[in-house]
Amino acid sequence: MSQTLDPQAAAHLSEVAVSVELQTADMTLNIGPQHPSTHGVLRLVAKIDGERIESVQPVIGYMHRGYEKLAEVRTYPQVTALVNRIDWVSGFANEIPLMAALERLMELEVPERALSIRLILTELARISSHLIFMSSYPLELGAATPLMHALRERERVLELLEGVTGGRFHPNFNRIGGVKPAAGGGSTMKKVSQDLPQGFLAETKAAMARMDLICDDLEDLVSGNEIFMARTKDVAVIPAAKAMAFGVSGPNLRASGVGFDLRKHENYLPYHKYEFDIPVGENGDCWDRYQVRLEEIRQAARIINQAIDDIPPGPLQAKVPRVIKVPRGETYVRAENPKGEMGYYVVSDGGRIPYRLKIRSASFSNLSILPWALKGLLVPDLIALLGSLDFVLGDVDR
């Protein structure tokens, strides 16, 4: 490692005839799999030269559960329960592209009310996922207070989700052709209990009204913090071209200056009815990835407010056969999940179970850029980069 010494020290060293070229040996540093900053069981084997990272070999698979194989022995409705567990921070959002893919293959017309409910709950899941980021990321960089604020608000959002779906993390709420009649009723109460719980819309609106204030709070606590700025600005820059070649998607791609959001480009949910902005970063550094997510919380709240205002009446379920058989064919449907592009490539042979289900998860591709992005960084920047990518190991390992 060559380093510039201050002139006095250099003069002294040359006087005593010691070489100023310091000889340093590479060292292998093992990080994880049990390390808090790796958000689960990610292991990094880093070759470091002093504080500088020469190369990194990520080791994943500690949580590989083989969902693609498991899906091949389960009926389509059963697969819904599996996919909740992929990215458990936003379990609800995982179900959406799968439902959209199956409904496209079955050519089902999903009732508008069901689509609106899906949209509202997906955005709630986005907020809850981003609030986790807002709590853990500053914490990893040394700021403990935002954690309390963000987790408190996330709890409110999870309560709303739980009120409708019955599950905080694994809602398993979507049905092929619509959504599940809300919790609480048996078959005799089907008619009265099948809609949203009373007060849900009003409570959600109240929570969304608070969300802007919470974002202001977080901004006050974190964004002006000099230490936070020093550790994130111009750190671990990912240029747009690299991000696209590695399949980095979602807020991470938008932070690199690419205004690509599947909510605007695909039609899996009726986002076209609502006004919202896509926040885009400029430099693709950790700071931008943080800023983009903060702004996405505000935008998600904006979408939810509009969606509640014009939620259409009607049934929650299209008429589907009791035994779901998906016609022969294959398709790929992707959705903008909190972590990025999530999609399912479904191959059906006309039967009750998928012939092949390829799960394209956002975190897997987002993480695959690590060996490239970490090269040449300082060890503390590794923590800054890992946190800013906002991955979940369940979403990486599937």
Partner 1 sequence: MTTNPPDEAVSAKGEEAVDEGAESVAGVTEPDTSSDPAVAEFAERIASLVGSDTWSADFGNAKVQVPAVSWVESVDKVRSEAGLEFFSFLSAIDWSNEVEVGDPLESRVSERFEVLVRLSSVENNDAVTLSTDVSKEDPRLASLVDVFGGANWHEREAAEMFGIEFEGHPNLTKLYLPDAFEGFPLRKSFPLLSREVKPWPGLVDVEDQPSTENPEAGADQENAESEEGE
Q: What are the backbone angles phi and psi of residue 58, rounded to the nearest 5°?
A: -70, 140
In the bound state with partner 1, the residue whose beta carbon lies nearer, of 68 and 219, is: 68
Select from 229, 320, 378, 379 the one that contacts partner 1 (CB under 8 A).
320
Exposure b/e, 259-270, CB count within 10 A at least 16 = b: ebbbbeebebbe
H-type helices in the chain, by residue range?
A: 7-15, 67-70, 76-83, 91-106, 112-140, 145-165, 190-193, 200-218, 226-232, 240-245, 251-255, 262-265, 286-309, 362-367, 370-374, 379-389, 393-397
What's the rounded Cα separation, in Å, for the pair 253 and 260? Answer: 8
In the bound state with partner 1, the residue whose beta carbon lies nearer, of 347 and 378, is: 347
Select from 47, 74, 168, 273 the one that contacts partner 1 (CB under 8 A).
74
Tell the burial category of 186 from Cβ atoms under 10 Å away from its Cβ (0-12, 13-18, 19+). Answer: exposed
**Residue 88 makes contact with partner 1 by CB under 8 A:** no
In the bound state with partner 1, the residue whose beta carbon lies nearer, of 176 and 218, is: 176
**Residue 66 makes contact with partner 1 by CB under 8 A:** yes
Residue from 72, 75, 66 nearest 355 by CA = 72
**Residue 360 makes contact with partner 1 by CB under 8 A:** yes
AA letter at 75: T
Binding part of the chain for partner 1, among 124-132, 148-156, 245-253, 294-302 by CB under 8 A, reads 245-253
Binding part of the chain for partner 1, among 18-26, 161-169, 237-245, 269-277 by CB under 8 A, reads 237-245
Select from 45, 54, 55, 72 the one that contacts partner 1 (CB under 8 A).
72
In the bound state with partner 1, the residue whose beta carbon lies nearer, of 98 and 208, is: 98
What's the rounded Cα separation, in Å, for the pair 201 and 292? Answer: 27
In the bound state with partner 1, the residue whose beta carbon lies nearer, of 184 and 327, is: 327
What's the rounded Cα separation, in Å, for the pair 164 and 193? Answer: 11
Q: Which of residues 329-358 bind partner 1 (CB under 8 A)?
A: 329-334, 341, 343, 345, 347, 349-356, 358
**Residue 54 makes contact with partner 1 by CB under 8 A:** no
In the bound state with partner 1, the residue whose beta carbon lies nearer, of 60 and 115, is: 60
Q: Which of residues 25-44 bind partner 1 (CB under 8 A)?
A: none
What's the rounded Cα separation, in Å, for the pair 363 and 155? Answer: 23
Q: How many residues of this chain bind partner 1 (CB under 8 A)? A: 70
Select from 6, 15, 21, 107 the one that contacts partner 1 (CB under 8 A).
107
Binding part of the chain for partner 1, among 46-54, 128-136, 152-160, 320-328 by CB under 8 A, reads 320-328
Span between the terminal Cα atoms of the chain, in Å: 40
**Residue 327 makes contact with partner 1 by CB under 8 A:** yes
What's the closest the beta carbon of residue 305 comes to partner 1, in angstroms? 26
Neighbouring C-beta atoms of residue 71, cutoff 10 Å = 24
Report CA-CA distances (Å) from 185 to 68, 120, 144, 247: 33, 22, 42, 43
Binding part of the chain for partner 1, among 110-118, 241-249, 285-293, 299-307 by CB under 8 A, reads 241-249
In the bound state with partner 1, the residue whose beta carbon lies nearer, of 228 and 364, is: 364
What's the rounded Cα separation, in Å, for the pair 284 and 170? Answer: 32
**Residue 187 makes contact with partner 1 by CB under 8 A:** yes
Neighbouring C-beta atoms of residue 158, cutoff 10 Å = 18
361-390 mask for partner 1 (x: CB under 8 A)? ---xx--xx--x------------------
**Tokens at residue 82, please?**
């599996």
Interacting residues toward partner 1 by CB under 8 A:
60-61, 64, 66, 68-70, 72-75, 77-78, 104-108, 186-188, 190-191, 241-242, 244-249, 253, 258, 260, 265-266, 319-323, 325, 327-334, 341, 343, 345, 347, 349-356, 358, 360, 364-365, 368-369, 372, 397
